[in-house]
Amino acid sequence: MRGYFGVGVEGISKGFNLGNLVRTSHAFGASFFFTIGASVSYAEVRASDTSHADIHMPFYAYKDLAEFNLPKDCSLVGVELLEDAADLPAFRHPLRAAYVLGPEKGSLSPRLLARCDQVVKIPAKFCVNVGIAGALVIYDRMICLGKFAERPVMPGSRI
């Protein structure tokens, strides 16, 4: 896959959800993972992250938004169900990106949204679980920027 990406979450409170998202990020080749203002049990994270992603990629735990930083020229992409956000299927992923998702039962903070270079939404009737949302965004990135041939014209065909 071209470029690099990181995944993060603001204000997450359930360790199993965080572990799921970290594991998925690792599985699809994320370069790093981060949290901002998380309040989780890292024992729960380890229990649900069976890939042990924390020993395979950097994991940054930022206390708050003031402490948060990204690599040079890395675009911050918020994932949020906002009316004026870009629809994921029509979104062009930046080559160097960090995707940030909001907490369970909540949204990205206005201060974090203001720092985002772009905001994308998953076109669903309502919010999905943070782990599912992260997986959808990461998979879409892989399809768009990976080394895959165009899909065949005929359904079920491989050529």
Q: Structural domain tally of the chain?
A: 1
* pLDDT (tens place) for every residue of the chain, 159 residues total: 679 999 999 999 888 888 889 989 999 999 999 999 998 877 777 777 778 787 889 999 999 999 999 999 999 999 999 999 999 999 999 999 999 999 988 899 999 999 999 999 999 998 899 999 999 999 999 999 987 877 788 887 776
CA distances (Å), origin 112, targets 33, 65, 155: 16, 7, 42
- The residue to which tokens 């979104």 are assigned: 91
In this structure, what token pair is assigned to residue 156?
Answer: 């079920």
The whole domain housing 50 covers 4-145
In this structure, what token pair is assigned to residue 89?
Answer: 């299927």
CATH number at residue 88: 3.40.1280.10
- The residue to which tokens 């603001």 are assigned: 10
158 lies in some domain: no
123 lies in some domain: yes
Residue 145: name the closest of 5, 44, 34 by CA. 5
DSSP string, 9-29: EES---HHHHHHHHHHHHHTT
